[in-house]
Structure 1
Amino acid sequence: MDVDLVDTVTLDLLREARETVRSSPLGVINTPLIPWCQTTLPLNVRCSLHIKLENMQRTGSFKIRGVANQFANRPKGGHFVTMSAGNYGKSFAYASQHYGSKGKVVMPETAPVSRSILIKSFGVEVERVPTNSLMTVVNRCVQEDNMTFLHSYDDLDLIAGHASLGLELLDVIPEPDVVVVCCGGGGLLAGVAAAIKLSGCDKTRIYGVEPEGACTMYKSFIENKPVGMETRSIASGLAPPFAGTLPFELCRRYVEAVVLINDEEIEAAVSTLYKSGLVVEPSGAAAFAAIVSNKIPELEGKNVACVLSGGNIGKDELANFPD
């Protein structure tokens, strides 16, 4: 990784991206950050907890933030290809339709079929392939069909767009003690962490949360370089085949640690949230699951923020979760 690229992620860059996201014709929402006491959710830790409701975002997840900044910095009417298990693909397809671009989403076969159908409804092509073939198919589209690759997590414009979430969070809680964010390829975690740390919150501890069966960033921290693995988790949105290179470098600089949760803890979190009226998908519930499963250290008496990153879950999926 070119260290210079990491150093280009400045507070000025992130603030500029926030204005781009705010003014985007894609209609990105400044989502609510609500105190725990205003919900009926149980909490076994004595802390002042706020939850950021990205499940209420346009297209149902935070991904629209990064997509808004990516498309604002790309030629209009292009022919783009990406890889996604669903949420990025949905935002990518929504933006492609709005801007009149051609698009193709390469999806892992493990992603819910309902996501493929939804993405196709925006007029974007979908190709489902084994997870370990995602980049092979993307490269084929680039080389043979002259498409432009928009990365779903390892992209400077995308990460800067996602950082808008972190800056919004600081508008409500200027100096949080702890911030907990899910991590797949690392784009959201990197953007939020950079926004918070570059804003001067030196004492804030930022934690990433990954599923045990898809812990590429966790392993990357151990090996001190971005690594890949055969990933499998109920949280398909957190299971890309490798950690992003730029996200890894930013997370290594700004993130306290990455913690792991298992699929059972994720399922329980989705059910708990649903019972309190919050529809959150498995990937979106990971940060919440880590807090209620006591995976985040030293929360007692702290100001804590937790991101619920998405709510794109179908009735068929919800029916499989425990009561």
Structure 2
Amino acid sequence: MLTLDKIYQASHVLRSVIRKTDLIQAPKLCPDCNLFLKTENLQVTGSFKVRGAYYMMSQLTEEEKARGVIACSAGNHAQGVALAAAKNHMKALICLPDGAPISKVEATKSYGAEVCMVKGVYDDAYNKAVELQKEHNYTFVHPFDNENVIAGQGTIGLEILDQMADVDAVIVPIGGGGLISGVAFAIKQLNPNIKVYGVQASGAPSMYESIHNDKITCLDSVSTIADGIAVKEPGPHTFEYVKKYVDDIVTVTDDEISAAILALIEKQKLIAEGAGAASVAAAMFHKVPVEGKKVVCLVSGGNIDVTILSRVIKRGLLMSGRSCMLNIELLDKPGQLKDVSRIIADLGGNVISIHHERANEGSDINGCFLRITMETRDYAHIQEIRSALMEAGFHLVD
């Protein structure tokens, strides 16, 4: 059984292994509330996962340690297990889905673990790990549905209350539910008045569906940029803890997550992966009632692949009105491009690309199309430019 004593014990065991990550104020991310970030993206291995993995492995018998451990992961749990195994001089085999970011795969190898790549998503890697565990008699280190793992993650709840006893609400990303189970249990045991909200990606809402259906629900598929929370099915332990201790669960889209990643980079100088930014997205886009409250968003990890980051930034710019594409139908005569450029420049837009082509069938025979991509301040700025172009007689094609 999970107890508060066990979480305190985990905190003691982890003292020499992890960082007590900072709680930093982030007033620009959500002006409607007093927002703080629990920066587990700056944790050892770049994620909270090392807490649960290390504590669980510290509780193994000598015989279990001698057999070695096996785990499955989208990347962050893999690194936590690999580091814990290295510190305890144990063999570790990690099954990862073949879509895991390269940076996470290479980081796992760098800690000395053996890696087995599995075709599919997290749940496929889990099935392979179970198969290999039976075959070789390894000790299985579950990424979320194990009470020692949950106790290790619950140490974050203790830290938040130690750093800010008067917090009103805590927002936590959910994949399989190990993190929020530990955090919510610790917080509710110490102060049941504090609200704990969970956030899932809309492309992987397994816990959201399970809670709303009042039974564990397995999704047919998951698809999200937040690979760290792309889980088809929660565990029986985490389902029960979430049902009992979490106040509500919401979902955020990939576009909203991308905008949150971009906001964290620009306004807080922090790198977060998709799963880590999901909690911030929930606050930014008012998915939970945070107005006027003192709120902590748990930024669970920062292990984002740089190739994905560039795509996410582009998507985040579009989502936040910082980038815009306009299609303008023109008459093919001298001076048209000059007039369009002047209007955009006068209003402070910055053109970064232009594509010009003759009109298609069905258009004016003297017509042409101009496709412009530009940098803008926000949606109001985009609308200002659109209105000015239309007032000047230009026809915008949506």
Structure 1 and Structure 2 fold alike (TM over 0.5) = yes
Asked if 1:223 corresponds to 2:203, the answer is no
What per-residue deviation string (whole Å, max 9, x for no partner) do you get for residues 173-230 of structure 1?
A: 213211100000000000000000011x122111000001111110110122222212
Q: Which amino acid aligns with 1:204?
A: I
Distance 1:123 1:16 in 2: 27
Distance 2:103 2:6 in 1: 36
Match of 1:115 in 2: 104
Match of 1:3 in 2: none
Distance 1:220 1:42 in 2: 30
Check the 8 A contact 1:35/1:50 in 2, yes or no: yes
Of 262, 274, 281, which aligns to 2:273? 281
Which has more radius of gyration?
2
131-140 or 79-88: which moved more? 131-140
Asked if 1:251 corresponds to 2:242, the answer is yes
Tell me the TM-score normalised to structure 2 length: 0.74
Asked if 1:96 corresponds to 2:96, the answer is no
Of 53, 58, 61, which aligns to 2:47? 61
Of 134, 153, 161, which aligns to 1:162? 153
Of 280, 287, 290, which aligns to 1:295? 287
Asked if 1:86 corresponds to 2:75, the answer is yes
Check the 8 A contact 2:26/2:35 in 1, yes or no: yes
Q: How many Å apart are 1:119 and its aligned residue?
A: 1.2
Distance 1:11 1:232 in 2: 35
Tell me the TM-score normalised to structure 1 length: 0.91
103-112 or 155-164: which moved more? 103-112
Of 30, 44, 47, which aligns to 1:43? 30
SS at match of 2:144: coil
Ranges in structure 1 where 5+ consecutive residues have no aligned partner: 1-7
Q: Which amino acid aligns with 2:285?
A: S
SS at match of 1:164: helix
SS at match of 1:50: strand
Distance 1:59 1:262 in 2: 26
Q: How many Å apart are 1:64 and its aligned residue?
A: 1.1
Distance 1:68 1:144 in 2: 24
Check the 8 A contact 2:69/2:92 in 1, yes or no: yes
Check the 8 A contact 1:77/1:99 in 2, yes or no: no
What per-residue deviation string (whole Å, max 9, x for no partner) do you get for residues 11-68 of structure 1?
A: 2222122112224xxx20110011224xxx33241x2221111111111111111112
Q: How many Å apart are 1:135 and its aligned residue?
A: 3.1
Check the 8 A contact 1:181/1:207 in 2, yes or no: yes
Aligned-residue CA RMSD (Å): 1.4
Asked if 1:152 corresponds to 2:143, the answer is yes
Distance 1:191 1:222 in 2: 21
Which runs of structure 2 are paired with 1:190-209 in the superposition (5 Å)? Answer: 190-199=181-190, 201-209=191-199
Q: How many Å apart are 1:133 and its aligned residue?
A: 2.5
Asked if 1:22 corresponds to 2:8, the answer is no
Which runs of structure 2 are paired with 1:173-188 in the superposition (5 Å)? Answer: 173-188=164-179
Distance 1:161 1:78 in 2: 22
SS at match of 2:167: coil
SS at match of 2:203: helix
Q: Which amino acid aligns with 1:187?
A: G
Match of 2:262 in 1: 271
Of 85, 95, 99, which aligns to 1:106? 95
Number of equivalent positions: 307
Q: How many Å apart are 1:111 and its aligned residue?
A: 1.4
Ranges in structure 2 where 5+ consecutive residues have no aligned partner: 318-398
Distance 1:137 1:213 in 2: 23
